[in-house]
C-alpha cells in the first residue's frame, strides 16, 4: 500500500505469471478485503484509472470488477463507483448455493468426502 493507504499501492500484476491478469487483480482485492486492508465501503478506483496505474487494458480491470461483483465482494453503484461489501453480504449468496449443493449431494447419496471431491474437481476445472 502507499503511504496514504490508497489501493493498489505498490502491488502490480505479474505479467510473467501463468495466472491471468484479471484473476491476479481479483485475488488481490479479495485478499485485501478479507484482511480488512480494504475496509467495508472502501471505494475502488474507476476502471480506467486503475488500468492506467496497473498498465493493463481497461477490460482486464472491468472483468475483475465484474467477477468480484458476481461473487458479492464488491458492489457497483453507478456514478458512486465500486465499493467493498461486508463479508457477511459476500458470503450470503455463496452459502445459499453451498446449501443447495449439499442438499443435492445428500439426495444423490454422496458422502461428504465424495461431495467435496466433486466440488474440488469443479473448482479446479477453470
DSSP designation for 76:
E
pLDDT tens-digit map of 26-72: 999 999 998 889 999 999 999 999 999 999 999 999 999 999 998 88
Q: How far is CA 33 from CA 72, 93, 106, in A?
A: 11, 17, 33
Across the chain, the runs of DSSP E, i.e. the strands, are 43-44, 74-76, 82-84
3-state secondary structure (DSSP) of residue 27: helix
Q: What is the rounded average pLDDT for all residues in the chain?
A: 88
| Confidence class for position 5, pLDDT limits 50, 70, 90 | low
pLDDT (average), residues 3-10: 71
Residues 6+ apart with CB under 8 A from 24: 13, 14, 17
| Lowest mean pLDDT across 9-13, 40-44, 58-62, 96-100 | 96-100
CATH architecture of 21-84: Orthogonal Bundle (1.10)
Amino acid at each position: 500500500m502507499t503511504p496514504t493507504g490508497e489501493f493498489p499501492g505498490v502491488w502490480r500484476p505479474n505479467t510473467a505469471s501463468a495466472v491471468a491478469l484479471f484473476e491476479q487483480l481479483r485475488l488481490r482485492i479479495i485478499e485485501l478485503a478479507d484482511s480488512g486492508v480494504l475496509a467495508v465501503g472502501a471505494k475502488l478506483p474507476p476502471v480506467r484509472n486503475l488500468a492506467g496505474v496497473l498498465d493493463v487494458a481497461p477490460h482486464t480491470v472491468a472483468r475483475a470488477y465484474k467477477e468480484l461483483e458476481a461473487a458479492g465482494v464488491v458492489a457497483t453503484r453507478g456514478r458512486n463507483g465500486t465499493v467493498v461489501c461486508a463479508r457477511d453480504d459476500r458470503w450470503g449468496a455463496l452459502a445459499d448455493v453451498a446449501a443447495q449443493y449439499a442438499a443435492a449431494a445428500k439426495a444423490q447419496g454422496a458422502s461428504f468426502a465424495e461431495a467435496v471431491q466433486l466440488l474440488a474437481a469443479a473448482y479446479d476445472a477453470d
